[in-house]
Chains A and B, each alone.
Chain A
Amino acid sequence: MAGNLFFVVCALVALVGALGTVTSHNPIRSAVGLLATILGIAGLFLKLDAQFLAAIQLMVYAGAVVVLFVFVIMVLGPDARTDVEAGKAQISRAFAGGLMALLAAGALFLLAKGGPTPTVFAKVMPGHGDVEAVGGQLFTQGIVPFELATALLIAAAIGAIAIARGKAVRIDKPRALPKGKYFGGPAHPRDVAAQVDTGVRKDGAH
């Protein structure tokens, strides 16, 4: 009974969060709704004996993705808000949303009508869903996608920096390097105006 109560609470939290994400006009509230959904789904993962995934969900989503969303919303400031979304496409949008909702409702209705009886889960083996079990399969069968995922993450990080940084700063004149010192610029502020011997003779000979 207590387990069922836990399921219902987590499901309600997730559903309310999802609805809040979609319906709120303030993007910060949307982000908080997303956070609620993530917490609810992490609780459901616990209920489904997937402890490792629950922990990963909390770390990656609640700790990184939602924070990233909040960062971006804060960076954009008030412009991230949406005014009442009146627009040219109001009717078509409402039509598309209604159609999608109808499709989903129909699918759920068919599922509920012709669906099987609720599955009674088998007795869980000790260690189902903990780090050892998941990691064991991850590093035996899933080693190639795992390595590919690392490559994907590093490429995504670099790409995100490259996209978000905008135009690169162009340095117009290359600084002459002082002889024997391999960093650009004068060694001391007093040397800024001083001539720097670059070791290159005027006539180009070495």
Chain B
Amino acid sequence: MLSGLIFSIGAVGFLVRRNVLVQLMCIELMLNSVNLALVAYNRVHVGNMTGNVFAFFVIAVAAAEAAVGLAIVIAFYRLRSSVQSDEADALRH
């Protein structure tokens, strides 16, 4: 339940907010909630660690994604002096 709630908040935020930074944070929220669900289901299966291992990989990939995403935000800001995703409308520069 809680995981679903946090995921929903993150998804709604991703759709509603127009600040790229906040959108990235909402992606992190969604990933975190999925991790919570994985670990909770893993707790049911005693003696099996797959859920924990999978959540570990999710954390690793999320860290990489955050690094690349923030780099893209900085490059985009250099181009447009803005972090509004509405500004990202040019296919060539």
Contact = CB atoms under 8 A, between A and B. Distances in A.
Given A82-B19, A149-B61, A48 B39 contact: yes
A93 B18 CA distance: 9
Interface residues of A, number: 82
Contacts of B46: 122-125, 128
Contact of A30 (B21, B47, B56, B57): B21
B25 A69 contact: yes
A156 B66 CA distance: 9
A152 B64 contact: yes
A159 to B, nearest CB: 6
A129 B73 CA distance: 36
User: Chain B, interface size: which category?
Assistant: 35 or more
Contacts of B77: 76, 79
B53 A138 contact: yes
A196 interface: no
Contact of B60 (A33, A44, A152): A152
Interface string A74-99: 01100110100101110001101100
Contacts of A9: none
B68 A31 contact: no
A79 B82 contact: yes
A195 interface: no
A1 interface: no
Nearest to A149: B60
B10 to A, nearest CB: 7
Given A41-B36, A160-B68, A163-B72, A94 B60 contact: no
Given A56-B59, A100-B8, 4 more contacts: A82-B83, A128-B47, A155-B64, A159-B71
23 contacts: A15-B9, A18-B9, A21-B29, A44-B2, A50-B55, A57-B59, A69-B25, A72-B21, A73-B21, A93-B15, A94-B16, A97-B12, A101-B12, A107-B4, A108-B1, A108-B8, A128-B46, A129-B49, A134-B52, A149-B61, A157-B67, A161-B71, A163-B75
